[in-house]
Every structure is written in structure tokens, then in C-alpha cells.
Structure 1
Amino acid sequence: MRRAVCPGSYDPPTNGHLDILERAAGLFDEVTVAVLINKNKKGLFTVEERLSLLQESMAHLTNVRFDSWHGLLVDYCRQNDIQAIVKGLRAVSDFDYELQMAQMNQQLTGVETLFMPTKPENSFLSSSLVKEVATYGGDVRHLLSATVHTHLMDRLARDK
């Protein structure tokens, strides 16, 4: 069975994330969406909330599972018999950083990283930018699934 993991913070998951996840699901027998836990970062949504948003947004895909992880991604891959990491790239600046990570991961455990370019309409998208625009009243509904948009707007209204 060909397994891959798509790691990220997904705070919140954008249409760019969902596009990469759907495309990865078409290439592998099983894809794990791993919400990575960084204790040094305070997210807008909890890890559990992000997992729930991803599950709701990706419910139509039967070969996608959801998990969270704190630690080295290659350890997660080893423990779960995952052969590949799939990363979306928006720009050359993403590639510079991701290439170093991919080479380190391959050197540590032999896990391969596959880079998937985003579609042009998603090339500017980041969770941070979406949150910032929404915080100032900008319309971001076209950048998120309906489920994620509703939760984002509710959270921002509650946190005012």
C-alpha cells in the first residue's frame, strides 16, 4: 500500500490546503493529514478543532485519515509505515526551506518528499494571511470551505 502524509498547521485549512490534499489522495492509496503540534505557537483553533475542520471539509474522500503529531515528522512516518511526505509549494521561497527539510528527512530515514505546486489561484494563500484579512473585515469566503469560513467568522466574532 502506498501511503503519504501531508503535514501542516492548518490554522485554518484554506482552499489551497484542500486542493493539495485532494490531489495527493488521488495519487496514494492512503493519505494522512497530520496537524503538527508546535507548543511554542498559539493557534486560533485548537488542534482538535483543526482536525474537525479538516474532517468536515474532506469527508468525501475515503482514503484520507486525520491525526496530530508532536515531534519529528520522520518518526511519525516510521511509526505509521508512511513512505512519502507531500508538501504544497506556493512560491520559490517555499522551495528553499522545504528542500532543506526534504533532504534532511531523506538522510535521516529514507522518507521521500514530493513537492506539489499549488494551482495559480491558490499561490498567494496562507492561513496567516486569511486570518489577518478576516480580522479586519475582509471577505475571505472564497478562500475557504463553507465549513471553515463559518467557524473562522464565529471564532473571530467571539474573540473580539
Structure 2
Amino acid sequence: MKPQDEDEAWRQIVENYGDTPRADEIPLAESTPEPAPAEPLRVDAVEPAVEEPPAWAPEPEEPAELAYRAWDDEGRFVPPTPPPIGWATPPRLVAWVGLFGVPLLFLVCLFTGLTLPSIINLILIGWFVGGFCYLVWNMPRTRNDPWDDGSRI
């Protein structure tokens, strides 16, 4: 396309912007022959099909009691019992109590209408902030295994 033709084409587009074309201006698409309609099926000519399960079909499921026994009898891997959860060290335990106990104590005081002296409030707030800072400070800074994504088999 030459630059003059392109400019002319754009000029026509701008001049005719928003106009709807008339029916005689729209080029007709080439007509394609429609496929012949299929012959309708006769209901009396169709025999009822007997459905047999295909060879790859799964076996019907067993009742829940039998399935549980079959699972139990297969001798699958049973993980060992995990070790008991130990207690935290005393400083860490004090930090956790401050982190969760102090807001709980403030909520109880709020709902019961109990007012605490200012010095007690300051001590409790300090305990909360100190416990939070202690726990954050003692978090591990590096992973034991940098390639460990946390999943276990």
C-alpha cells in the first residue's frame, strides 16, 4: 500500500466514523452449501442396548467395614509415636505468659469494671512488650538446612 493510499484510507475512515453502512454496501459472503439433514431415527427400529461394564471399569466398592479391615490388614507403615512435647525454658515461658496473659488480664479487667493502679498497668505493659521482644530476639536467624522446605516423608 502506498503512503497516499494509506492516507486516503484513513481519511475515509475518519469521514465515515459513526455512520452505519447500508445493506447494499455490505459485501455478501460466499454461500456454502448446507449439509443435507440426516435421516431421522425411528424409535421402533432401535433395540434397547444392554449396558455391560467395560473391561476397564473399577470393581464395585466394598462396604466401609470391609474396606477398613482390608486397609488394616495390609501391613502398611505405621509411624512411631512422637516424643512428648517438653516444657519451655523458664525465661521463654515467662515471655509467652506475658504475651498472652497480659492482654487476657486487661480484657477481664475491662469486662468486670476492675481498675488497676497505674504502676501495675505500666508493669503489665512492660511485661507484654518485654516478652514480645525476648521471643523475637531469640528466634533462629538462619535455617538449619537451607534446602529444607518443611515437608517430611
Q: TM-score range by the shorter chain?
A: under 0.3
**TM-score between both structures, scaled by the size of structure 1:** 0.17
Comparing both chains, which one has the higher relative contact order based on Cα–Cα distances under 8 Å and sequence gaps of 6 or more?
Answer: 1
Higher strand fraction: Structure 1 or Structure 2? 1
| Higher Rg | 2
**TM-score between both structures, scaled by the size of structure 2:** 0.17
